[in-house]
Amino acid sequence: MDITARLDDIGKPAWITLMVLAFIIFWPVGLAILAYLIWSGRMACWKHSRRARWQREGMEHMHEAADRWFGGHRQPRSSGNRAFDEYRSETLRRLEAEEQEFRAFLDRLRLAKDKAEFDEFLAGRRHPESPEPQPPS
């Protein structure tokens, strides 16, 4: 049995201990162990031992992050229960409609506030309470 199999049997604490000791003794070895752990998938997700699954999940997270940044909308994955999927889809559509209504309400509210402030400004200019000094000509 080789050392990686033994460390895998012990689990996560063994890998972390080996890496920390390697950094303390000679940092390039610690760096090499860290690179191996990242490359092999051992550092990414300890609960999933298959590298292909880890890569697929990583790609899904990248797509989700890109969607958040660029405003894309993707269909959520199916849960396997059609009734729940339909409920979730309908709830998401309703929430999106409510969000649009709320944004429109906020826009109308901001417009009303801006209009009130502008009307107050115009009223102040039309009927000044104290005459402003005129600049010399």
Residue bearing the bigger pLDDT, 16 or 85: 85
| C-alpha dihedral (116, 120, 121, 125), degrees to nearest 10 | 150
pLDDT at 125: 85
Mean pLDDT (whole number) for 65-81: 68
Query: Looking at 15-24, 37-46, 85-94, which range is the least confident one?
Result: 37-46
Mean pLDDT (whole number) for 9-34: 84
In a domain, 133, yes or no: no
The listed range with the strongest mean pLDDT (28-32, 48-52, 70-74, 85-89) is 85-89
> Is residue 32 very low, low, confident or very high in pLDDT (cuts 50, 70, 90)?
confident
Instruction: Give the domain extent around 37.
Output: 1-50
Mean pLDDT (whole number) for 116-121: 92
> Is residue 1 very low, low, confident or very high in pLDDT (cuts 50, 70, 90)?
low
Do 46 and 1 share a structural domain? yes
Residue 100 has pLDDT above 80, yes or no: yes
CA 83 to chain centroid, in Å, comes to 28
In a domain, 59, yes or no: no
Query: Looking at 95-99, 108-112, 121-125, which range is the least confident one?
Result: 121-125
In a domain, 67, yes or no: no
For the chain, helix (H) and strand (E) counts, in that order, are 5, 0
DSSP, residue by residue, the chain: --HHHHHHHH-HHHHHHHHHHHHHH-HHHHHHHHHHHHHHTTTT-TT---HHHHHHHHHHHHHHHHHHHHT---PPPP-S-HHHHHHHHHHHHHHHHHHHHHHHHHHHHHHHHHHHHHHHHHHHHHS-SSPPPPPP-
Do 90 and 46 share a structural domain? no
Alpha carbon distance 88, 94 (integer Å): 10
In a domain, 64, yes or no: no
Domain total for the chain? 2
In a domain, 55, yes or no: no
Do 91 and 46 share a structural domain? no
In a domain, 79, yes or no: no
pLDDT at 43: 65
In a domain, 73, yes or no: no
In a domain, 81, yes or no: no
